């Protein structure tokens, strides 16, 4: 089911790293958070509990796989997982690598900035994005 006017029904929502029958994994172009990914459910549903049990299990398994790849490749201090849907009420999860020197740490990425961006650190993280793309595609190959 698709909803007219829903950003995640009408657009990929980022650079598609993997497209499954029921979900997609995208890379977000965020200057301060290289490696920021989203897991987006294909159908327009608002909450995880709107899914049947097997779909919930699939979504959670994919979420853990994405987190695993982000941790392995991006080497963050912490990974933030978030599912809000207040602005875009279409089921999706944010998978955000976090670092002690990132703009918002320890606050959420949507909070008040704590420091200026660190260009050298960001460049190192951007250099990992090709490896993230490749590893994500490899890891999710079996998810049709």
Mean pLDDT value across residues 89-109: 96
Residue 124, classed as helix, strand or coil, is helix
The percentage of the chain sitting over the pLDDT mark of 90, rounded to a whole number, equals 92
**Residue 62 pLDDT class (50, 70, 90 cuts):** very high
In angstroms, the CA 130 to CA 143 distance is: 21
Note the pLDDT tens digit of each residue in 65-90: 999 999 999 999 999 999 998 888 99
The ranges assigned to domains in the chain are 7-139
pTM of the full structure? 0.94
Q: pLDDT-based confidence at 108, cuts 50/70/90? A: very high
CATH code for residues 7-139: 3.30.428.10
2-29 CB burial, b ≥16 within 10 A, e <16: eeeeeebbeeebbeebbeeeebbbbbbe
Take residue 49 and report the two structure tokens written for it. Answer: 């509990």
User: Does residue 20 carry a pLDDT above 90?
Assistant: yes
What does the pLDDT read at residue 1? 78
Asked if 113 and 106 count as a contact pair (C-beta separation under 8 A), the reply is: no
- The pair of structure tokens assigned to 28 is 């977000």
19, 38 Cβ separation under 8 angstroms? no
The per-residue pLDDT for 81 is: 97
Q: Please tell me the distance from the alpha carbon of residue 14 to that of residue 38, in angstroms, as a whole number.
A: 8
């Amino acid at each position: 089911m698709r909803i007219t006017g829903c950003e995640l029904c009408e657009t990929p929502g980022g650079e598609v790293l993997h497209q499954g029958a029921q979900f997609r994994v995208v890379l977000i172009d965020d200057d301060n958070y290289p490696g920021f990914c989203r897991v987006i459910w294909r159908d327009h549903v608002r909450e995880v509990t709107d899914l049947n049990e097997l779909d919930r299990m699939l979504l959670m398994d994919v979420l853990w796989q994405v987190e695993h790849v982000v941790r392995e490749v991006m080497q963050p201090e912490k990974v933030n997982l978030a599912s809000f849907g207040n602005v875009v009420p279409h089921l999706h999860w944010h998978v955000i690598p976090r670092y002690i020197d990132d703009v918002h740490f320890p606050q959420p990425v949507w909070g008040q900035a704590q420091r200026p961006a660190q260009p050298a650190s960001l460049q190192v993280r951007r250099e990992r994005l090709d490896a993230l793309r490749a590893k994500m595609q490899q890891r999710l190959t079996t998810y049709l």
